[in-house]
């Protein structure tokens, strides 16, 4: 029996070639230990601006800074080996002009070593996506429910209920695809709309609350690991990490209060020279 072929590190180019093939497995990561644990299972790790909410306790992603994204991106790159690492450009770091977008993306790529960036893709973002891609920075698009736009779109609600909303999302997806995005996140959209977009665009689509019709799937890792009491409808919980942490902390507290920790195994007894 021949030895199993060693898995090669993923790139934006290799992910793009996965259109219509084996589903692309993606999760978020915000630190080195988590990235290391996820790396062998994932094709792509996203350092999402969701870190503002799930790591820093913010109410939304709007307050996340470029410096925060770079810091967490550096940490994830220390733990990732095979998965493509993509870092979000946060709110306010790319919307003013294509030159601003490129400069922010240049900093992220240069200071973290990541393989691509992601932008929430209103139609205005198409010029920036093309500008970055032409200058050597792979860009992942993001359409549908766009968390950075929640102040004007009415919060975190599924999209695609009205004809005008559907037309807008289709226009955003088409613009991002034609601009050269290597992949596209579709978030919180009607199943039929997600399927239509996946068939329409040339790049792979990555669904989050967008049905199994997409070319891949992504979830926020703390959500799927069960770190929070409430999660969106589209999340499937694969663990109860909040419960595991609670039980471990309770056991530690009991041992400390009973003076059974530290014990003999955890105590230094040095021989005098």
The one catalytic residue among 187, 191, 196, 264: 187
Q: Binding site annotation covers 120? A: yes
d(CA 219, CA 210): 11
Q: Binding site annotation covers 50? A: yes
Q: Binding site annotation covers 88? A: yes
Q: Angle CA(124)–CA(129)–CA(134) in degrees, nearest 5?
A: 140
Q: Binding site annotation covers 59? A: no
Is 187 a known active-site residue?
yes
d(CA 146, CA 120): 6
Going by their DSSP bridges, the two strands 44-47 and 183-187 should be labelled as unpaired
- Give the distance between the most distant pair of CA atoms in the chain: 82
d(CA 9, CA 220): 22
Q: Binding site annotation covers 118? A: yes
d(CA 269, CA 96): 62
Whether 117 contacts 76, CB under 8 Å: no
Catalytically active residues are: 187
Binding site members for 3-methyl-2-oxobutanoate: 49-50, 88, 118
Binding site members: 49-50, 88, 118, 120
Binding site members for Mg(2+): 49, 88, 120
């Amino acid at each position: 029996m021949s030895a199993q072929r060693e898995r090669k590190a993923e790139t934006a180019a290799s992910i793009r070639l996965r259109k219509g093939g084996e589903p692309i497995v993606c999760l978020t990561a915000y630190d080195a230990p988590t990235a290391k644990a996820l790396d062998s299972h994932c094709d792509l790790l996203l350092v999402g601006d969701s870190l503002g909410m799930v790591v820093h306790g913010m109410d939304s992603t709007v307050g996340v800074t470029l410096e925060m994204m770079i810091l967490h991106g550096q940490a994830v790159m220390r733990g990732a080996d095979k998965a493509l690492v993509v870092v979000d450009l946060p709110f306010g770091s790319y919307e003013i002009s294509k030159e601003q977008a490129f400069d922010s993306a240049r900093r992220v790529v240069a200071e973290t070593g990541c393989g691509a960036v992601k932008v929430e893709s209103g139609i205005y973002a198409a010029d920036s996506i093309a500008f970055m891609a032409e200058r050597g920075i792979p860009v992942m698009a993001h359409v549908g429910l766009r968390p950075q736009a929640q102040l004007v779109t009415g919060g975190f609600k599924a999209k695609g209920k009205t004809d005008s909303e559907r037309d807008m999302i289709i226009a955003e997806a088409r613009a991002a695809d034609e601009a050269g995005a290597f992949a596209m996140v579709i978030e919180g959209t009607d199943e039929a709309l997600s399927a239509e977009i996946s068939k329409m665009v040339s790049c792979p689509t990555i669904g989050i609350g967008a049905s199994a019709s997409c070319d891949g799937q992504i979830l926020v890792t703390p959500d799927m690991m069960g770190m929070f009491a409430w999660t969106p409808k589209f999340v499937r919980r694969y663990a109860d990490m909040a419960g595991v942490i609670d039980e471990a902390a309770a056991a530690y507290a009991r041992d400390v209060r009973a003076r059974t920790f530290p014990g003999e195994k955890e105590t230094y007894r040095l021989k005098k020279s």
